[in-house]
Structure 1
Amino acid sequence: SNHLGLKLNKTEKKFLRKQTKAKHTLLKHEGIKAVSYATQSLVVANGGLGNGVSRKQLLLVLEPCGHVEALFMPPNKPYSLVRYKTVEESRKAYTTLNGKEIVDDLGQKIILYFNFVEKAQWKNLELQALPPDLKIVEEIISSEDERVLLESINWTQDTDNQNFEKSLKHRRVKHFGYEFCYKNNNVDKDKPLPGGLPDVCVSFLEKWLKEGYIKHKPDQLTINQYEPGHGIPPHIDTHSAFEDEIASLSLGSEVVMDFKHPDGVTVQVMLPRRSLLVMTGECRYLWTHGITPRKFDTIPASEQRKGGIITSDIGNLTLCKRGMRTSFTFRKVRHTPCNCSYSSVCDSQRKETPPFFPKSDMEALQLEQEHVHQVYEEIAQHFSSTRHSPWPHIVEFLKALPSASIVADIGCGNGKYLGVNKELYMIGCDRSQSLVDICRERHCQAFVCDALAVPIRSGSCDACISIAVIHHFATAERRVAALRELVRLLRPGGKALVYVWAMEQELNNQKSKYLRGNRTSQGKKEEINSDASMEGLLVKQVPDLGNEDSESSVPSINDLQEGGYQSRNITNSKLPIHTNRTSFHSQDILVPWHLKGIHDKDGVVEPFGPVRSSETSPVFHRYYHVFCGGELEAACQTLGDVSILQSSYDQGNWCVILQKL
Structure 2
Amino acid sequence: MDSHHQSNYKRSKTEKKFLRKQMKARHTLLRHEGIETVSYATQSLVVANGGLGNSVSRKQLLPVLEKCGFVDALLMPPNKPYSFVRYRTTEESKKAYDTLSGKEIVDDLGQKITLYLNFVEKAPWKELGLQALPPGLTVIEEIISPEDEKMLLESVNWTEDTDNQNFQKSLKHRRVKHFGYEFQYENNNVDKEKPLPGGLPDLCDSILEKWLKEGFIEHKPDQLTVNQYEPGQGIPAHIDTHSAFEDEIISLSLGSETRLEGQMRKRKNQIVMDFKHPNGVTVPVMLPCRSLLVMTGESRYLWTHGITPRKFDTVQASRGHKSGIVTGDVEDLTLSKRGIRTSFTFRKVRHTPCNCRYSLVCDSQTKETPPSFPESDREASRLEQEYVHRVYEGIAGHFSSTRHTPWPRVVEFLKALPSGSVVADVGCGNGKYLGVNEELYMIGCDRSQSLVDICRERRYQAVVCDALAVPVRSGSCDACISIAVIHHFATAERRAAALRELVRLLRPGGKALIYVWAMEQEHNKKKSKYLRENRVSPGREELTSNEMSAQEVPAKHTPDLGSQDSARPVPSISDFQEGGCDSRKATSSKLPIHTNRTPFHSQDLLVPWHVTGNPGKDRPVEPLGALGSSDPGAVFHRYYHVFREAELEAACRTLSDVSVLQSYYDQGNWCVILQKV
Q: What's the TM-score, normalizing by structure 2?
A: 0.87
SS at match of 1:156: coil
1:304 Cα deviation after fit:
7.2
What is the letter of the counterpart of residue 219 of structure 1? D
2:548 counterpart of 1:544 = yes
Q: Which residue number corresponds to residue 187 of structure 1? A: 190
1:173 Cα deviation after fit:
1.1
2:158 counterpart of 1:143 = no
- 644, 650, 653: which is aligned to 1:637? 653
1:159 Cα deviation after fit:
5.2
1:249 Cα deviation after fit:
0.6
Q: Which residue number corresponds to residue 88 of structure 2? A: 85
Say whether the 8 Å CA contact 1:178–1:188 is kept in structure 2. yes
SS at match of 1:155: coil
- 520, 531, 554: which is aligned to 2:538? 531
Distance 1:600 1:29 in 2: 9
- 584, 587, 601: which is aligned to 1:569? 584
- 374, 382, 389: which is aligned to 2:398? 382
Identity value in percent: 75
Say whether the 8 Å CA contact 1:69–1:85 is kept in structure 2. yes
2:460 counterpart of 1:444 = yes
Q: Which residue number corresponds to residue 177 of structure 1? A: 180
Distance 1:286 1:615 in 2: 24
Distance 2:275 2:473 in 1: 52
SS at match of 1:308: coil
What is the letter of the counterpart of residue 153 of structure 1? V
Say whether the 8 Å CA contact 2:77–2:125 is kept in structure 1. no
Q: Which residue number corresponds to residue 522 of structure 1? A: none
1:501 Cα deviation after fit:
1.8
What is the letter of the counterpart of residue 169 of structure 1? K
Note the 1:58-457 alignment, pairs <5 A: 58-120=61-123, 122-123=125-126, 126-157=129-160, 168-252=171-255, 253-303=269-319, 306-353=322-369, 356-457=372-473
Q: Which residue number corresponds to residue 578 of structure 1? A: 593
SS at match of 1:90: helix
1:158 Cα deviation after fit:
6.7
Say whether the 8 Å CA contact 1:50–1:555 is kept in structure 2. no
Distance 2:580 2:95 in 1: 41
Q: Which residue number corresponds to residue 22 of structure 2? A: 19
CA 1:403–1:293: 2 relative to 1, 3 Å = farther
Q: Please, which runs of 5 or more residues in structure 2 have no aligned partner? A: 256-268, 560-578, 620-627
1:431 Cα deviation after fit:
1.3
Say whether the 8 Å CA contact 2:68–2:96 is kept in structure 1. yes
CA 1:490–1:362: 2 relative to 1, 3 Å = same
CA 1:551–1:352: 2 relative to 1, 3 Å = farther
Alignment deviations for residues 24-72 of structure 1 (CA, whole Å, 9 cap, x no partner): 2222222221111111111111111111111111112100000000111
Q: Which residue number corresponds to residue 521 of structure 2? A: 505
CA 1:386–1:296: 2 relative to 1, 3 Å = same
Distance 1:391 1:170 in 2: 32
**What is the RMSD computed on CA atoms of the aligned residues?**
2.8
Distance 2:286 2:109 in 1: 22
Note the 1:454-533 alignment, pairs <5 A: 454-518=470-534, 526=535, 529-533=536-540
Distance 1:275 1:321 in 2: 17
1:139 Cα deviation after fit:
1.0
Say whether the 8 Å CA contact 1:50–1:78 is kept in structure 2. yes
CA 1:650–1:284: 2 relative to 1, 3 Å = same
Say whether the 8 Å CA contact 1:78–1:534 is kept in structure 2. no
What is the letter of the counterpart of residue 279 of structure 1? M
Distance 2:434 2:169 in 1: 42
Q: What's the TM-score, normalizing by structure 1?
A: 0.89
CA 1:588–1:211: 2 relative to 1, 3 Å = same
1:596 Cα deviation after fit:
2.3
What is the letter of the counterpart of residue 378 of structure 1? G
CA 1:379–1:602: 2 relative to 1, 3 Å = closer
Say whether the 8 Å CA contact 1:375–1:621 is kept in structure 2. yes
CA 1:600–1:108: 2 relative to 1, 3 Å = same
CA 1:66–1:389: 2 relative to 1, 3 Å = same
1:223 Cα deviation after fit:
0.7
Distance 1:221 1:419 in 2: 57
Say whether the 8 Å CA contact 1:415–1:428 is kept in structure 2. yes
Distance 2:369 2:417 in 1: 45
CA 1:620–1:24: 2 relative to 1, 3 Å = same
1:422 Cα deviation after fit:
4.4
1:313 Cα deviation after fit:
0.7
Distance 1:35 1:566 in 2: 39
- Stretch moving more, 342-351 or 327-336: 342-351
CA 1:454–1:465: 2 relative to 1, 3 Å = same
Say whether the 8 Å CA contact 1:296–1:530 is kept in structure 2. no
CA 1:156–1:80: 2 relative to 1, 3 Å = same
- 46, 49, 68: which is aligned to 1:46? 49
Distance 1:357 1:169 in 2: 37
Distance 1:69 1:483 in 2: 60
Distance 1:148 1:23 in 2: 53
1:239 Cα deviation after fit:
1.1
- Stretch moving more, 31-40 or 357-366: 357-366
CA 1:160–1:23: 2 relative to 1, 3 Å = farther
What is the letter of the counterpart of residue 322 of structure 2? K
Say whether the 8 Å CA contact 1:433–1:448 is kept in structure 2. yes
Q: Please, which runs of 5 or more residues in structure 1 have no aligned partner? A: 519-525, 557-563, 604-611
Q: Which residue number corresponds to residue 28 of structure 1? A: 31
SS at match of 2:364: coil
SS at match of 2:9: helix
1:490 Cα deviation after fit:
2.3
CA 1:71–1:9: 2 relative to 1, 3 Å = same
- Stretch moving more, 397-406 or 244-253: 397-406
Alignment deviations for residues 363-412 of structure 1 (CA, whole Å, 9 cap, x no partner): 33232222211111100111112223333333333344444443322111
CA 1:395–1:613: 2 relative to 1, 3 Å = closer
1:358 Cα deviation after fit:
3.5
CA 1:242–1:358: 2 relative to 1, 3 Å = closer
Say whether the 8 Å CA contact 2:374–2:588 is kept in structure 1. no
What is the letter of the counterpart of residue 544 of structure 1? M
What is the letter of the counterpart of residue 579 of structure 1? H
Alignment deviations for residues 517-553 of structure 1 (CA, whole Å, 9 cap, x no partner): 42xxxxxxx4xx2421562x43xx53413x6223344
Q: Which residue number corresponds to residue 560 of structure 1? A: none
2:21 counterpart of 1:5 = no
Distance 1:382 1:369 in 2: 19
Q: Which residue number corresponds to residue 607 of structure 1? A: none
1:619 Cα deviation after fit:
2.2
What is the letter of the counterpart of residue 5 of structure 1? N
CA 1:305–1:395: 2 relative to 1, 3 Å = farther
